[in-house]
Structures are given as C-alpha cells and as structure tokens.
Structure 1
Amino acid sequence: MYYKTKIEDTVRIPPYKFDEPLNKVAIQTLNETYEGRLDKKLGLFICVNDIDEIGEGKLIMGDGAAYHNVVFEALFFKPEQYEILEGEVIEIVDFGAFVRIGPMDGLIHVSQVTDDYINFDAKRGALIAKESNKSLDEGDLVRARAVSVSIKDESTNNMENTRKSKIGLTMRQNNLGRFEWIEEAKQKSMG
C-alpha cells in the first residue's frame, strides 16, 4: 500500500543552487537524500510530493550552504500482511516465482502457486501444475495476497535493503493467480 506522510527535516542548499527556485532545489535534494531508504514503520521511500513549510535559511561557519528547516510530504510503499497485490513475474526458480509488486519484490513459493502439485521446467524456466497443466512464466501478470511481510530497517541509501526485506505471497485462494486463470474461473462460474 502507498502512504503519504509528513516529515520534518533540515535540507542543505549548496551556494551554486541559490539562483534556482528554493522549493524545487529542496525537493530535489530531499529526494536524493532519502531515495531507496527503508523504514520499518513507513516502508520504502518513493519520493517527496511537496514541501508544506520551508524555514528561513541559516548559515554555518565554514560552510557556504544554507540550511532550511522543512516540513514535507513524502510517499512511501509498504505492503501490509493480507493485502491483495498485483505484479509481474520477474524470475522463475526451482523453489518459486519472484514477483515485482510496485517498487519491491515478493516470493510465491511453489507450495503457494496453486492447490495442484507444481513442477519446475528448467528448460522453459516455468512452473507447471501437474493436474491442471497451468503454467507460470516470466512476464506473467498475477494477483497475490501477502502472507508474510518482514521489512528490514536500514538507514543507508542502498537498494540492497529492499532485497533483505521479505514479502511472502500466495495465490492459493479464490480470485488470485495468473490473470488468465482468474478470468477462466469467472467464465466457468458464469456458465
């Protein structure tokens, strides 16, 4: 789920940017500072939407930059347990499928793809159901439910943080799975 949150901070505006619009430079600087950061409570920082308040600049001896206290609105992404998410299968491995859900990835373990027994087809790079012959390939669009969410709180600006976070997904419920499976199930129930 995406959240908007108000944050207070101080932004450093370097002297070579004094001639540019203050709000624009402050938003750009804040985005560079926070991009890719994870917070256990807020989730993954996406961007600064707007600056609500910007204080008068202060100078610090020995630094030509201006420091402004700001209150800004930021957008975060944090999947919640039991939330329904849609995404694209980006990788198939023998133990499941990795799905890109917004700016993060989740894993659908082979036991959570369908109620059917699943085989991994290494040549094709696909997961194939034994009884129903349903298949899951890279590039497929799916709908899944988050069954476990573990966000690692890291304060460094590093995309490795999102890889350390774990999002477990399932497609073993009604109206979940590959979009084509959902449509087929609707057609069967209608008649």
Structure 2
Amino acid sequence: MYKLLKVKDVVRIPPRMFTMDPKEAAKEVLRKTYEGIYDRDEGVVLAVMDVEEISDGVIVPGDGATYHEAVFNVLVWKPEMHEVVEGEVIDVAPYGAFIRIGPMDGLVHISQLMDDYVVFDEKNKQFVGKETKRILKLGDEVRARIIAISVKSRVIRENKIGLTMRQPGLGKRDWIEKEKKKAKEE
C-alpha cells in the first residue's frame, strides 16, 4: 500500500551546500539518507517529496556543518498481509516465479501458481498447467495475494515477500479474463 507520510527529523547540511536554499539543501541530504531504505513500521521510502519546514541551523563545535530540524513528506510503500497486488513476472526458476510488485520482488512458489499440477519447462523457461495447459512465463502480468512477509534488514533486496495466485480472481490477467467470460456465459 502506498502512503504519504509527514516526518520530522534533524538534518545535517554540510558547508559545501551553504550557498543553496536551505529547503533544497535539506531535501538533497534527506533523499540520500532516506530513499530506498526499508523501515519495519512504515515500509520502503520511495521518495522525499518536499521539505515543509526547516529551522535555523545550529553549529556543533568541531563540525562545520549546520543541523536543522526539518518537517518533510515522504512517499512510502509497505506490503500488507493479504493485500492483492499486480506485477510482472521478472524471473522463473524450477521452484517458482519472481514477481516485481512496486519496489520489491515477491516469490510465488510453484505450488501456489495455479489450481493445477504445474510442470516447469526448463527449455522455454515457463510453467505449464498439466490439465489446464495454462502457461506462465517471463513478462506476464499477474495478480497475486501477499501471504508472507519476512523483514530482516533495512536493505530492500534482503527482505522477502511470499505470494499466492491460487485463489479466484488471481493469476495471469488472461486467465482472470477467461474466468470472467466463462462466468457470464453460465
């Protein structure tokens, strides 16, 4: 889920940035500090949007930089349990498909791809449903539900998201459209 948050923090502005507008200098420093970081409570900080307020600076002895209290807005994305997400298949392996959902990737285990016995076709790098003959391959657009979130670090790539596509309304977009047409015909 995407959210816009208001944050208050102290920002250190180095002397080389003293000629800049204080809000612009603070925004540049805050972007380097916050963007791309995963916060366990709030999610992934995607962007520092703007600096609303900045106090007069304080100089600490022995450090030529100024320290300012700043109030700023950040755009964050936090995966929520049971949230339905859409993404693209970016990689396939014998054990499952990796889906790009926002700034993170999730894994759909082979047992969670579809309600069918699934075989991995190594040669063509795709999954094939034994009875339905449904195919899932690189580049396919899918809808999935988040079923597991494992947060171990502030680094985005070290965290894991587990997904399922075995429930009604989930899976490859083509499959969902065919299910809708079939339901209307009945």
TM-score (norm 2): 0.94
Residue 177 of structure 2: aligned partner = 183
What letter corresponds to residue 186 of structure 1 in structure 2?
K
On the 8 A contact 1:39/1:152 being kept in 2, the answer is no
SS class of match (2:64): strand
State which drifts further: 161-170 or 100-109: 161-170
What letter corresponds to residue 93 of structure 1 in structure 2?
A
Residue 76 of structure 1: aligned partner = 76
Distance (Å, rounded) in 1 between the aligned partners of 2:95 and 2:157: 17
TM-score (norm 1): 0.92
1:133-152 paired onto structure 2 within 5 Å: 133-152=133-152
The structure 1 residue matched to 2:168, chosen from 174, 178, 185, is: 174
* Aligned-residue offset at 1:21: 1.9
Distance (Å, rounded) in 2 between the aligned partners of 1:40 and 1:96: 26
SS class of match (1:4): strand
Residue 25 of structure 2: aligned partner = 25
State which drifts further: 112-121 or 36-45: 36-45
On the 8 A contact 2:35/2:48 being kept in 1, the answer is no
* Aligned-residue offset at 1:153: 4.1
Structure 2 unaligned blocks of 5 or more: none
Quote the sequence identity (%): 48
* Aligned-residue offset at 1:121: 0.5
State which drifts further: 42-51 or 172-181: 42-51
- Hey, which bits of structure 1, 4+ residues long, moved more than 6 A? none
Structure with the larger RCO, 1 or 2 (CA within 8 Å, 6+ apart): 1
Distance (Å, rounded) in 2 between the aligned partners of 1:38 and 1:117: 36
Residue 9 of structure 2: aligned partner = 9
On the 8 A contact 1:2/1:75 being kept in 2, the answer is yes
| Cα RMSD (Å) | 1.3
